[in-house]
Amino acid sequence: MFHPTSSSSAAAASQKKSKVQLQGLGATQEVMDSWVNATLKTAQSLDPASYLPDLYWKHKTRPDGRIFSQARPTSVAVSVLQKNAIGSAIVTMKSSPVVMDGADESSDDINTNATQSTLVLAGVTADVGQPSSRAGDLRVTLVPSNPALESWLQRLLVACLDLDQLGIVPGKAAFGLDVTVAILNFDGNLRDSCLLAAVAALTDTMLPAIVVHDGRVFTLPDNDSVRKVPQSLKSFPSKKLVLGRIPISLSMGSIHISCKMDSDDNISDGEMDCTIERKHYWLVDPAKEEESVCEGGISVVVNGLNPEQILSLDYTGRVSTTSTDVALALRMAQGRVEEFLPLLTPSTS
C-alpha cells in the first residue's frame, strides 16, 4: 500500500543523519586543532630559539608583554612562617599573559607559559652552639640543591651581617643561623629572587630571648619570661637582627636578534628595501624561556643602603661584554634599589 508520508520521513531522517555527520566532523576538527596547538607548544618548548627572537619583533615586545628594560612585578611578604622560623619571607616574580593577534582571551591561544611565576620561600631558624670565636655563624641551604647559587648567597649574606651580634657568652655560646631557601616555582632569574627572599627573611628575623644557667643556654618564649628570671642568672631579651648592608641584585640576559632594517635604519615589517642586521640587546629579569636563548648574563649586586657601593659583579656568556654594558647594569641596579628597599625596610619608606 502506498503511504504518501514515507518520502518526507525519509528526507527528515536523511537530514538528521547529515547533521550528526557535520557535528562529528566539527568535533573531529576541534580535536585536530587541539592536537596541532599542543604539538606546536611542545615543539616551541623544545627549541625556543627557533621562534622567540622573531616573536619579539612581531609583537614589538617580549613574550610576556614587557619591554627589554622592564622587570616583572615583584612582591615580598614577610612573617609567613609563624611557628617554624624566627624570620621568613616569600617572593613572587609574576609574569603577565600575552594575547596573540586574533586570539580569544578565554582560549588556549594565550601564551600560557607567560602566566608562570618564580616563587621563592625563605625561612631562618636558630640553634645555640659553641663558636670557634666570639661570633656566631650563618649557613645557607638551597632546596632543591644548587651548590653554585648556594655558595654565592652564602658569601653575600655573611659579608652583610655582623656576626658578633649572634654572640651570647664570648667563646662559649653563640647563635647559629640557618637560612633555608626553597624554590617553590621556577620561571627564571633565580639569583634575584633567591637573594631577595633570603634578605627579606633576615630583616624579618627576631633573635629569641634566652637565659644562661650552669653554662647552658635556654630559649624563652617571650620577653615577659625574661622579667621572671632570677637576677643571679644572665638573661637577654629578644632582639631584631640587623644587616649592615642590604644586598639588592639585578640580572640581565644578553641576546642577539636578527631584524629587518629599512633604509632609514628603522625596524621594517615589509620585505622590500630592507636588510638583515643582528642587533644586541639586554633583557632585564629574564624569564625561564628567555634564559634558554640568551647568550650570556650579567648580575650586579649593590648595597641598598648605599647604592654606589658594588657588592658583587658576575658575567658569564659566549660573547664578550663591554664597559658600557657594565655601566648600564650598574645604573639599572641602582634604580632597582628604589623599588626593593621599601619592601625590605618598611620603616624607612
Q: What CATH number belongs to 74-98+113-244?
A: 3.30.230.70
**Model pLDDT, residue 20:** 52
The cell for 142 is 638551597
Q: Going residue by residue through the chain, which has 349 residues, state the pLDDT in tens, using 9 for 90 and above.
A: 444 445 556 555 566 555 555 555 556 777 677 766 666 566 555 666 666 666 676 667 788 888 889 999 999 999 999 888 999 999 999 876 544 444 444 444 444 444 579 999 999 999 888 776 667 889 999 999 999 999 999 999 999 999 889 988 887 788 899 999 999 999 999 999 999 999 999 999 999 888 887 777 887 877 777 777 787 777 778 899 999 999 999 999 998 877 665 555 555 554 545 566 777 889 999 999 889 888 889 999 999 999 999 999 999 887 788 889 899 999 999 999 999 998 887 654 3
**Model pLDDT, residue 148:** 94
Order across the sheet with 274-284: list the strands.
Answer: 274-284, 247-262, 296-303, 306-317
- The model's pTM is 0.76
**Model pLDDT, residue 311:** 96
Q: Is there a contact between 133 and 122 (Cβ–Cβ < 8 Å)? A: no
Q: Is there a contact between 210 and 201 (Cβ–Cβ < 8 Å)? A: no
What amino acid occupies position 42? T
Q: Is there a contact between 116 and 187 (Cβ–Cβ < 8 Å)? A: yes
**Model pLDDT, residue 242:** 94
Describe the chain by its helix, strand, coil percentages, rounded to 5.
Answer: 35, 35, 30
Domains 74-98+113-244 and 248-348 share a fold: yes
What does the domain layout of the chain look like in residue ranges? Answer: 74-98+113-244, 248-348
- Cα 336 to Cα 153, 299, 304, 316, distances in angstroms: 19, 12, 9, 21
Q: Is there a contact between 295 and 215 (Cβ–Cβ < 8 Å)? A: no
Q: Tell the CATH topology of 248-348.
A: Ribosomal Protein S5; domain 2 (3.30.230)
Nearest to 63 by CA among 114, 118, 107: 114
**Model pLDDT, residue 225:** 74
Nearest to 329 by CA among 270, 295, 284, 290: 284
Give me the helices (H) in 82-166, please: 147-159
Contacts of 99 (CB under 8 A, 6+ apart): 105, 109, 110
Q: Evaluate the CA torsion angle 43, 44, 46, 49 in order and state its sign.
A: positive
Residue with cell 588556549: 108
Distance (Å, whole) CA 332 – CA 299: 11
Contacts of 250 (CB under 8 A, 6+ apart): 71, 192, 284, 285, 299, 300, 329, 332, 333, 336
**Model pLDDT, residue 199:** 97
